[in-house]
Amino acid sequence: MRVRAGVLCVVMMVTTAAAFHPPARLPHDLHHGNTRSEFPCPEIEDIKPCKCNYTGQNMTLSCIALSDAAQLDQVFSATFPIPLFSKFTLMASNIPILKKDTFKKVSFREVQMFSNKMKTVEAEAFAASYSTLKKFMFNEDGLVNQQLSSLKTLTIYETGVDTLNKSSMAFSSTVLTLIDLHHNKIQTIEEGAFQDVSGEVNITLNNNQLQLLNEDPFSELLTNTTGIIDVSDNPLECGCDLYWTVTITEEMFDHLHGLLSSCNFEGNYSLHTLIKFLEYQCTSEKVRALAFPCPDENEIDPCRCDYDPVSGTLNLTCSQLDSIDQLDKVFSANFPFNKFNLFQLEDSKIPVLKKDVESGALESLYDSLEEFHITEKYVDEDYNWPIQDLSKFKVLSEIGISGPYSSLPVLESKSLNSVLLDMYHLTSLPDNIFTAAPNLQSITFQGTRLEDIKADTFKFLPSLRTLEIRNANLSSLAKSSLAFSTNNLTYIGLQFNNIHTVEDGAFQGINGPVVTDLSNNEIEELPGDAFADLLKNTTGSISVTNNPLVCGCDLSWLINATDAELKRLVGLQSSCGIDDPYQWEVVKDFLIYQCS
């Protein structure tokens, strides 16, 4: 649980006319009735349900919603005329273990894996791609070092990874430019985790759970690399674990992004202040005991009080408490000051906060609490909504609820402007859920099981700027499900769902520079009734990337679309195998001939 400046935190075959000359290869789904693949793709039946697409320059393979590893193994038992793909995508499948012989002798230049329930990736799983794989994007657990000698970029995000073991990020590639590990749960980085990483490599570790930046591996990384190392948005303790930074150069500090801001050492003299602080606090053999304004450290053990004299912040952290009695004992200590910027309670066995602990639990915060975040570990049972008296908090502007919650009430709050709901068991929303929270600016659902959106759910929010529902279970967008009355909207994110149908009138009241992201869904058609007004009335991009588009007569409404409008339909032309403006003109002729 965290409290900061009044902030509380409780711690995804065509007949053509004589005058019509089609391109060498029409988009895949325009070959009506074709049951055989075109060289160099394997036979269609041999690799079902996977799909091979050849554009004349690139050959890609996508596998979506495979039932098990045996089905994937059967696909790669097919005959591959040319066993090298530009890109391989594996998504939304049930593949808990990726074995070392799964891909046989088939290799890839780019690999993307999302939401496959993967827990283990065996060493040598990508053996055939050791010398070819250049880009690897991974949204799974269990990856071990694959010795990829030609790798340029590695992205691992939103996984359960909490530890980087020795050699886990060791690479022999001399062309590596990016190791992107953002938004995981990394707490520990072992010595030698980044063995052999050198040169102009950027390493992003932002939005993890790092508390310590120990000398190994960070000193070696700063010495051997010249790229950025981003540790922003981590709960850094900013203690004597940083003493090694006293001896590094200012240029090295410039490459270590997020350290000073995370430690509240900001301003013109921030670096100088941090070094002086470390020299004063950490030079003796035994680090100086905590003192005023903190309580006696023995009285609050196992909790820890931290005071930052530069920023004036006073923080209290309690971890691994065995009972509520232990917490009660801590708060019975003599506190010189009783207003903390941050209170964090984590990894403890405390199912309920009693009223006599913290002087009435949350009641004392009705007038001052600005942010409330609670995170519960995944369990099978359903937890109750944690803020029953939401309307009583006068200045509460942000809430974040994460855990096994299955329901939530109508949100009543005039001060609330940001909501983040990461509720694993949530399948539906109550009627009028947001009508009593008129000042909401940001709404985010992630990792839920939401199946649909009711009409006008977001219509009466005049200040709404961003809406994101990702990694949910949405299958269709009904009429008015995305109806708005705000002029401030900038972003609608619906990526990584199961959306296959978008009804007429699903998008309403959307105007101006709004970015709409429908990537990584199951959309096969883009009907004009649903998308024409959205394209006409907005100036932002509309992404349909990584959708199994049919690319047939449903696109006839785009015949008169301008080049600028087509560019804003991100992913359309690549999904339909349209590589250049000439091919699009040919396809338009085809649509006019076939669909009029």
Higher pLDDT, 203 or 338: 203
> Would you say residue 276 lies in a domain?
yes
User: Domain check: are 94 and 58 in the same one?
Assistant: yes
User: Domain check: are 185 and 78 in the same one?
Assistant: no
User: Domain check: are 185 and 249 in the same one?
Assistant: yes
What is the model's pLDDT at position 147?
A: 81
Question: Domain end: 126, 151, 176, which one?
Answer: 151
> Would you say residue 205 lies in a domain?
yes
User: Domain check: are 205 and 87 in the same one?
Assistant: no
Question: Domain end: 250, 267, 288, which one?
Answer: 288
User: Domain check: are 44 and 122 in the same one?
Assistant: yes
User: Domain check: are 271 and 187 in the same one?
Assistant: yes
Distance between CA atoms of 360 and 115, rounded to whole angstroms?
42
Q: Which of 136, 179, 178, 142 is nearest to 163 (CA)?
A: 142
Count how many Cα atoms sit within 13 Å of the Cα of residue 161 in the half-sphere of its side chain: 28
> Would you say residue 130 lies in a domain?
yes
Show the domain range for 74: 40-151
Distance between CA atoms of 173 and 233, rounded to whole angstroms?
29
Q: Where are the beta strands (DSSP E) in 303-448?
A: 304-308, 313-319, 342-346, 371-375, 398-403, 418-423, 442-446
> Would you say residue 411 lies in a domain?
no
User: Domain check: are 225 and 260 in the same one?
Assistant: yes
- For the segment 51-69, the average pLDDT, to the nearest whole number, is 94
> Would you say residue 146 lies in a domain?
yes
Provide the number of structural domains found in the chain. Answer: 2
Q: Which of 484, 495, 489 is nearest to 545 (CA)?
A: 495
Q: Where are the beta strands (DSSP E) in 24-109?
A: 51-54, 59-64, 84-85, 87-91, 97-98, 107-108
**8 Å CB contact between 206 and 232:** yes
> What's the Cα-to-Cα distance from 388 to each of 100, 148, 185, 384, rounded to whole Å?
50, 52, 29, 9
pLDDT at 277 over 70: no
- Cβ neighbors of 18 (< 8 A, separation 6 or more) are none
Report the first-to-last Cα separation within the chain, whole angstroms: 62
> Would you say residue 490 lies in a domain?
no
Q: Which of 408, 409, 420 is nearest to 447 (CA)?
A: 420
**8 Å CB contact between 332 and 356:** no
Residue-wise pLDDT for 581-596, tens only, equals 667 788 888 888 888 7
User: Domain check: are 132 and 176 in the same one?
Assistant: no
Element (H, E) at 323: none
Question: Domain end: 252, 273, 288, which one?
Answer: 288
> Would you say residue 402 lies in a domain?
no
Cα torsion angle, 258, 262, 268, 269, sign: negative
User: Domain check: are 142 and 191 in the same one?
Assistant: no
User: Domain check: are 144 and 176 in the same one?
Assistant: no
Q: Beta-carbon neighbour count of residue 348 at 10 Å?
A: 18
Element (H, E) at 381: none
Distance between CA atoms of 281 and 240, rounded to whole angstroms?
7
User: Domain check: are 141 and 165 in the same one?
Assistant: no
pLDDT at 355 over 60: no
- For the segment 155-165, the average pLDDT, to the nearest whole number, is 91
Higher pLDDT, 121 or 28: 121
Distance between CA atoms of 502 and 533, rounded to whole angstroms?
13
Distance between CA atoms of 53 and 75, rounded to whole angstroms?
15
The domain that contains 256 carries what CATH number?
Answer: 3.80.10
User: Domain check: are 146 and 163 in the same one?
Assistant: no
Q: Which of 30-44, 236-250, 474-488 has maximum average pLDDT?
A: 474-488
Confidence of residue 19 (pLDDT cuts 50, 70, 90): very low
